Structure 1
């Protein structure tokens, strides 16, 4: 195949004393496999830490490539993050500032640039932007968030019937089918293989249910955070203590009705909003065999709930229940990514294929008592990033350079020999990947969250700047205006807001100026 690395032995017809002709053929362009999950915390990948889970499939990418220790997003919420990745631009320039605003599919994206450069492009899995960007040859995307069981897909404009099966497995089946088509062609390919999991509501595959309720996970030191000195954090509606018992924790209406949780949805005033009924609808998507597998699981969950409800053990039970399902969802992604990596090996594609694994943002796994994302605090601001490219990236390498999700498109275009337009704000990571970090690489990063407070999770709008050691967050939401300053070296859990600490007065002044400078440089309104 044209885009496998191989050596062609060509007989040279020459006369004595003549020099061989110089090879002027262009280098083979790499294939691209861009894998992304949804809401995957760094802590839930064993390449970063093995305290929660073992992910041998995902770890392969780091072991055979580079692990990025300091990878961040520009806006920690699903659709805006995807738009930032595709366009290489911050939310205020690509227009997708929150989950409510529309995405303009007619703007430039790195996938369109690759398509125009001769790549076969595809997007398989969770899209979440409604409008499909230009330049995608093969699109098979979930409708909206998609369901964990019996999901429905849109295939090149046609809405398909629900398919029995588990979403992570189905997405991977389709990805491998498309890889087989691409491998048989005469173009390099760029596939966006984007998972739904581990997005809320974390429904495990039936194969992961046995023994799941017996698993226990370490409890974060700040699970019972009192939010002292952090009014915006205190106001947010994303506590595990307030999760939906039905939708999130899988306590059916037989054991708890109505659902006592707020679930981040306090803004919804519709009297017909009923998470118990919604959970019943989700369970109705299961096949008879799947229902049989889930029945004893749901029975035990309900019985446990009745034992802990209203007791001092309730919060930790909720935490363990959440983590059990979240980690099981991650493990399914891991197994399925391993399937795709195995196919690349079997097809002889691995050597000349850039493989990226990342998430649209990080996620809270009990830190600050939370689930969800949105805030500029480390757990949701960070996102996993691992890149493998055997032809250029040293196996087992790591970097602590500050990188952003908007850098990924520029990186791929660099390796493909395509120049992005001047308005793209992301910077190619190629020098870092090849062990040559630039001396003038960025020393801090800018962040901004836009979604209005009268929506899911009630998070105040804010912006901020993060350097190697210090972070300054500026809350701009009316009623919550103010600053928070953290020393990440001494306070990695961000519990001590030192904005009024005279010892850090110089740091505060410097970071306030950096926010102004970043706004000018990035053309923030």
Structure 2
């Protein structure tokens, strides 16, 4: 078994240098200031992007970003939950430092330091459109318009800077893109550089597609993941979750099989969503779903047949929601190209975390397992950054803030915990790059009932500690067990590795000052 000297290496975090541009001094004088367009979605997983995975669907516009820049193949989050992940991203700090631990008990302290505020101080215009999901109102933005909470897919509400809540007519992914393009075209000062955050509701549960895409992918049949019927042997925390496609996916809310005499826990919420539609939208919705509903109830599926049917329905609805997102990413890229902005604009696409597409039998996220800890990250690079292709170093969403600051010439405060990715974008491979990542999930008890846990991930191994109402450890060799089915903790031959990983984990907790839940 491979022995790793990770204790001494895990603190090898590079020091950011004050590089404003990757071009030479002469070129730098000729270049326009760098703009940033940062597109983020909710619950979009790399399995459903063709630049990462070609098994399921094509995402040609997202692929354009990767083709003209870089694809990070080892991109991860620090806390796989929407609000906490966004707080990590905007502050460059772990949840233990930005104090936004979960979606149920926390309100983001908007007075704290964030990268948009630091960009403002450096002379940038900043804007945010779409999903905020941090409970407090945004600060650090010259312009913002956000959806309350999770928002609605159809005819959604928006909160404006005047603290008015207004309803807009249309499909939310289109509306957010409309607002973003309108700000770039009509509301910003063209003499100043800008940073625009386009943050979408899609592809969040319950995956309600635009009516123009309802009939797509109905001819596709997807193979069940090999571990779809996982029995969670040796993993009691995994067994205790409530995010099973078979057991917990709601027939009416998630899968839209609504009939008047059918009941479910989330029926009223789905009816509320449908009630947002106008007559034309609802008629189109019913034209598609009524035949599907009638066919489903006529078959009275049971057991594995029902499980497979739910998986197929889920996959199709998810893909249809991605299709609208991909189309709207194309609109933004086309606008930037038309206006001559691509050469001096960094375009970033990512999600707030990954998602399960049937792996382990699940939907949703939260766990430190690969499908939810991983998140897609692709960047279309401006002139002066000539790196192309894959970046294989381990990166985390706390790294975005220092990256944006360094690229724009803004100072990176010493208390930011992330690491600037600029050396990687320049084509460098720093020997002292980090050798381990820290993760901590706090939200329990709550929706899906995933136990609290923290852990460390290295290039090869992952050690997780589930705590609070449970005290269980899990160890995985990702090289031989990429789907994390075999818990090696306590097995013969792994004692020294476990000790080394625990020591490295403790060092990470000390480095990030995460001492509240340490055991």
- Common fold by TM > 0.5: yes
Q: Shift of residue 312 of structure 1?
A: 3.3
2:373 alignment partner in structure 1: 381
Aligned with 1:248 (options 241, 244, 254)? 254
Question: Kindly tell me: are residues 84 and 300 of structure 1, through their superposed partners in 2, closer, same or farther at Cα, counting changes over 3 Å?
Answer: same
Query: For this pair of structures, how many residues does the alignment match?
Result: 488
Query: Counterparts of 2:164 and 2:351 in 1: how far apart (Å)?
Result: 26
Query: Counterparts of 2:369 and 2:232 in 1: how far apart (Å)?
Result: 13
Render the CA deviation track for 1:396-448: whole Å, top value 9, x for unaligned: 42111000001001001001101121110011000001101211000110100
1:87 alignment partner in structure 2: 91
1:493 alignment partner in structure 2: 483
1:222 alignment partner in structure 2: 227
Query: Counterparts of 1:183 and 1:61 in 2: how far apart (Å)?
Result: 24
Q: Which runs of 5+ in 1 are unaligned?
A: 6-21, 260-273
Task: Please give the secondary structure, in 1, of the residue aligned with 2:44.
Answer: coil
Question: Kindly tell me: are residues 296 and 26 of structure 1, through their superposed partners in 2, closer, same or farther at Cα, counting changes over 3 Å?
Answer: closer
Render the CA deviation track for 1:235-279: whole Å, top value 9, x for unaligned: 00000112111110001034x6112xxxxxxxxxxxxxx522222
Q: After TM superposition, where is structure 1 displaced by more than 4 Å over at least 4 residues in a row?
A: 22-27
Query: Counterparts of 1:191 and 1:466 in 2: how far apart (Å)?
Result: 32
2:198 alignment partner in structure 1: 193
2:285 alignment partner in structure 1: 294
Q: How does 1:82-231 map to 2 (within 5 A)?
A: 82-100=86-104, 101-181=106-186, 185-231=190-236
1:263 alignment partner in structure 2: none
1:465 alignment partner in structure 2: 456
Task: Please give the secondary structure, in 2, of the residue aligned with 1:240.
Answer: coil
Question: Kindly tell me: are residues 134 and 276 of structure 1, through their superposed partners in 2, closer, same or farther at Cα, counting changes over 3 Å?
Answer: closer
Query: Counterparts of 1:309 and 1:106 in 2: how far apart (Å)?
Result: 53
1:315 alignment partner in structure 2: 307
Q: Shift of residue 394 of structure 1?
A: 3.0
Structure possessing the higher relative contact order (Cα contacts under 8 Å, 6 or more residues apart): 2
Question: Kindly tell me: are residues 413 and 182 of structure 1, through their superposed partners in 2, closer, same or farther at Cα, counting changes over 3 Å?
Answer: farther
Q: Contact between 2:387 and 2:426, CA under 8 Å: does it hold in 1?
A: no
Query: Counterparts of 2:166 and 2:28 in 1: how far apart (Å)?
Result: 51
1:353 alignment partner in structure 2: 345
* TM, length-normalised to structure 2: 0.91
Q: Contact between 1:73 and 1:81, CA under 8 Å: does it hold in 2?
A: yes
Cα root mean square deviation, aligned: 1.7
Query: Counterparts of 1:508 and 1:69 in 2: how far apart (Å)?
Result: 26
Q: Contact between 1:66 and 1:396, CA under 8 Å: does it hold in 2?
A: yes
Q: Shift of residue 23 of structure 1?
A: 9.8
Q: Contact between 1:253 and 1:276, CA under 8 Å: does it hold in 2?
A: no
Aligned with 2:325 (options 326, 333, 342)? 333
Q: Contact between 2:69 and 2:380, CA under 8 Å: does it hold in 1?
A: yes
Query: Counterparts of 1:32 and 1:118 in 2: how far apart (Å)?
Result: 13
Task: Please give the secondary structure, in 2, of the residue aligned with 1:83.
Answer: helix
Query: Counterparts of 2:349 and 2:327 in 1: how far apart (Å)?
Result: 14
Q: Shift of residue 316 of structure 1?
A: 0.6
Q: Contact between 2:253 and 2:266, CA under 8 Å: does it hold in 1?
A: yes
Task: Please give the secondary structure, in 1, of the residue aligned with 2:218.
Answer: helix
1:76 equivalent to 2:80? Answer yes
Question: Kindly tell me: are residues 27 and 452 of structure 1, through their superposed partners in 2, closer, same or farther at Cα, counting changes over 3 Å?
Answer: same
Q: Shift of residue 24 of structure 1?
A: 9.7
